[in-house]
Amino acid sequence: MKRELKLINCDFAKLHQHLSGSFFLRSLLSEENVEVELFDIIKLDGNKTYSNISFTNRKDYLASYNLKKLEAKLDARFFFRIHNSTIINLLHIKTIVNGKQKTVILTNEYSLSVSRRNWSRFMTRINELKQGDIGSQFSSASSPN
């Protein structure tokens, strides 16, 4: 039997103000520089030397950076690596399924597995967001950008 947990206590609109900033990426396909707003990122999927970025407000974007380089540009308070090749924006989680397979469903309806190795840290971070325990960290933590 699966146990489904829903994020009902998170005020994403309130948390959104703490996730601001942007950075520029060079496209793998067009070689143009594109500005990326952090809050608009839903997830990033890496594949060795490039990454695919999914957004709330535009088509997916293929970037000529590996996931490790992109991770350094993200705000670690709101982005989490759920397994080796995927990073998600925690503010875009819709549902968490805690069953045999640990899964998150994002606001764009993507369903992604969370690795067993990362599950405990992931749930700790989610509980901090739900309970507001990291609220004091919001004002003191700085974005890496």
Q: Could you state, in order of their start, the residue ranges of all structural domains in the chain?
A: 3-131
The count of C-alpha atoms lying within 13 angstroms of the C-alpha of 17, restricted to the half-sphere facing its C-beta, is 5
Q: Report the SS3 class of residue 85.
A: coil
Per-residue pLDDT of the chain (145 residues; tens, 9 = 90+): 555 554 433 445 455 556 667 788 876 667 778 888 888 999 999 998 889 999 998 888 888 889 999 999 898 888 999 999 999 999 888 888 887 788 888 888 889 999 999 999 998 988 887 776 554 443 333 334 3
Q: How many residues does the chain have?
A: 145
Distance between CA atoms of 136 and 124, rounded to whole angstroms?
16
Distance between CA atoms of 15 and 21, rounded to whole angstroms?
14
Provide CB contacts within 8 A for 26, sequence distance 6+.
Answer: 32, 33, 34, 63, 64, 65
**pLDDT (0 to 100) of residue 61:** 87
3-131 is classed in which CATH architecture? Answer: Beta Barrel (2.40)
